[in-house]
C-alpha cells in the first residue's frame, strides 16, 4: 500500500514538472513568433496550444514569416499532399532534449494574404511515444 502511494506521488510530481516546463517554454515561444513591423497582434494560448494572428506590413509576405521562424530554430517540413504547402507552411521544433515537440502551421488568409494565422501544438514524449494534448 505504501509503495502504491509513493508511486502515485512520484507520478503526480512528474506531471507537475512537465506542466511547469510546458508553461515556461510556452512564454518564450509565443513572443518569438511575432516578426517586426506587423500590426493588430492577437494571441491566445492554453497549456499545449498557442494561437497568434497579425497583419503583415505591405512589404512582408509568408516567406518573410517563414524565414523569421526558421531563424528562431524552427525546421520547415513538407506536407503531403503537396497542395497543403500552397496553403501555408508547417514547421517543427523539439525542446528539452526532445522531450517536448511542437508543430506549427502558418497560413496567410485571403483576401489580401496579409492576415497571418499561426497555430502551435505541443506534444510530450513519454516512453518513446508522442502524446499530444
Closest CA to 68 of 101, 38, 47, 98: 38
Instruction: Identify whether the C-beta of residue 40 lies closer than 8 Å to the C-beta of residue 56.
Output: no
Residues in the chain, overall count: 133
Residue 83 or 95, more confident: 95
Judged against a pLDDT cut of 60, whether residue 52 lies above it is answered with yes
pLDDT of residue 96: 65
**Full-prediction pTM beyond 0.85?**
no
Number of domains in the chain: 1
Cis peptide before 111 (omega within 30 of 0): yes
For 15, the domain range is: 2-132
pLDDT at residue 26 above 70?
A: no
Residues 85-128 have pLDDT tens digits of: 556 888 888 776 666 778 888 888 877 778 889 888 887 777 77
Q: What mean pLDDT is predicted for residues 15-39?
A: 74
The predicted structure's pLDDT at residue 68: 92
Q: Are 133 and 47 in contact (CB under 8 A)?
A: yes
**High-pLDDT (> 70) share of the chain, %:** 78
State the chain's mean pLDDT as an integer.
79
Amino acid at each position: 500500500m505504501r509503495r502504491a502511494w509513493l508511486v502515485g506521488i512520484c507520478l503526480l510530481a512528474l506531471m507537475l514538472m512537465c506542466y511547469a516546463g510546458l508553461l515556461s517554454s510556452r512564454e518564450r515561444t509565443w513572443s518569438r513568433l511575432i516578426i517586426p513591423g506587423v500590426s493588430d497582434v492577437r494571441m491566445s494560448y492554453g497549456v499545449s496550444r498557442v494561437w497568434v494572428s497579425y497583419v503583415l506590413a505591405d512589404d512582408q509576405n509568408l516567406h518573410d514569416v517563414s524565414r523569421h521562424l526558421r531563424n528562431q530554430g524552427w525546421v520547415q517540413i513538407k506536407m503531403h499532399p503537396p497542395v497543403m504547402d500552397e496553403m501555408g507552411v508547417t514547421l517543427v521544433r523539439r525542446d528539452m532534449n526532445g522531450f517536448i515537440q511542437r508543430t506549427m502551421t502558418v497560413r496567410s488568409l485571403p483576401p489580401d494574404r496579409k492576415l497571418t494565422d499561426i497555430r502551435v501544438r505541443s506534444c510530450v514524449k513519454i516512453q518513446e511515444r508522442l502524446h499530444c494534448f
